[in-house]
A = this chain, B = another copy of it.
Amino acid sequence: MKEDNNTNKKMSKSEENKLLKEGKLFEAAYDLFTSKGINNTAISEIVKKAGVAKGTFYLYFQDKYDIVDLIVVRKSNTILIEAMEEVIKSGNKGFVDSVIMFVDYIIEVLRHDKKLLKLIHKNLSWGLFDSAFRNIKQYDNARRIIYYFIDELEHEGITKDEAEKILFMIVELTSAIVYSSIILKEPDEIQNMKPLLYKTIRKIIQN
């Protein structure tokens, strides 16, 4: 009698297996995309590396770009949450400093994972980000972080609308500098760009 079929705690073997395969494909794709680039990675390589059949790929993903999006969103989500945890852990230190700490955490992560940085830079559009965070339960935490920042800016006497734009600008500016300075070393190393970036962020936030 398979009575415990319905409980949340236990998964049927087939469900376990499903997750396993999807995970293997995810990991294989991530490794290949970051090391060889998306365009140079064939699905046949992904499945080979994952140790599954070609058809299996299409059981879980529509095509190559489907899995790219998934990777980018999941990884971004993870970093955001980790960054927020770091901020919280460090105790209250005023909004502006929190923002800078948050940004700094993300920069450090990406500085040490250049491949991820490249992948995110080329494939993370605001739209993708937005739609994933808006609609998918799994990304609740990331969404909350964004709303937290916007709320705080409102407390500084900025309208919600303006607050969103400011957040957007900080994100885009950071993103551009991070990519260019880490990957291209242009116009300078990230460590030498940070002071100016943080100064600029302060200027942007503070009226």
- Using a CB–CB cutoff of 8 Å, the interface residues on chain A facing chain B are 125-127, 130, 161-162, 164-166, 168-169, 172-173, 175-177, 180, 184, 186-188, 193, 196-197, 200, 203-204
Distance A204 CA – B161 CA, assembled complex (angstroms): 22
Closest to A129 in B: B186
**Given the complex, which residues of B lie within 8 Å of A161, measured CB to CB?**
188
**Given A173-B173, A176-B173, A204-B203: A196 in contact with B126 (beta carbons within 8 A):** no
Q: How far is the CA of A180 from the CA of B164 in the complex (A)?
A: 14
CA distance A125 to B183 in the complex (A): 11
Instruction: Give the number of copies in the complex.
Output: 4
Q: Which residue of B lies closest to A197 (CB)?
A: B169
Do B184 and A165 touch (CB < 8 A)? no
Residues of chain B within 8 A (CB-CB) of A173 are: 169, 172-173, 176
Complex: A125 Cα to B121 Cα, angstroms? 12
The secondary-structure label for the interface of chain A is helix
- Contact call B200/A187, Cβ cutoff below 8 A: no
Out of B127, B165, B203, B204, which one reaches A188, CB within 8 Å? B165
- B-side contacts of A125, CB under 8 Å: 184
Cβ contacts under 8 Å, A196 to chain B:
162, 165-166, 169
Asked whether, in the complex, the Cβ of B193 is within 8 Å of the Cβ of A165, the reply is yes
Alpha-carbon separation in the docked complex, A169 to B195 (Å):
12
How far apart are the CA atoms of A172 and B172 in the complex, in Å? Answer: 8
Bound: A100/B175 CA distance, A: 22
Return chain B residues, CB-CB under 8 Å to A187. 126, 164-165, 168
CB-CB < 8 A to A176: which residues of B? 172-173, 175-176
Q: How many angstroms between the C-alpha atoms of A25 and B133 in the bound complex?
A: 41
Which partner residue on chain B sits nearest A126 by CB separation? B186
Contact in complex: A127, B184 (CB < 8 Å): yes
Contact B127 A200 (CB under 8 A): no
* A202, closest chain B residue (CB): B203
Task: List 8 interface pairs A-B (beta carbons < 8 Å), by A numbering.
Answer: A127-B184, A164-B187, A165-B187, A168-B187, A169-B173, A172-B173, A173-B173, A176-B176
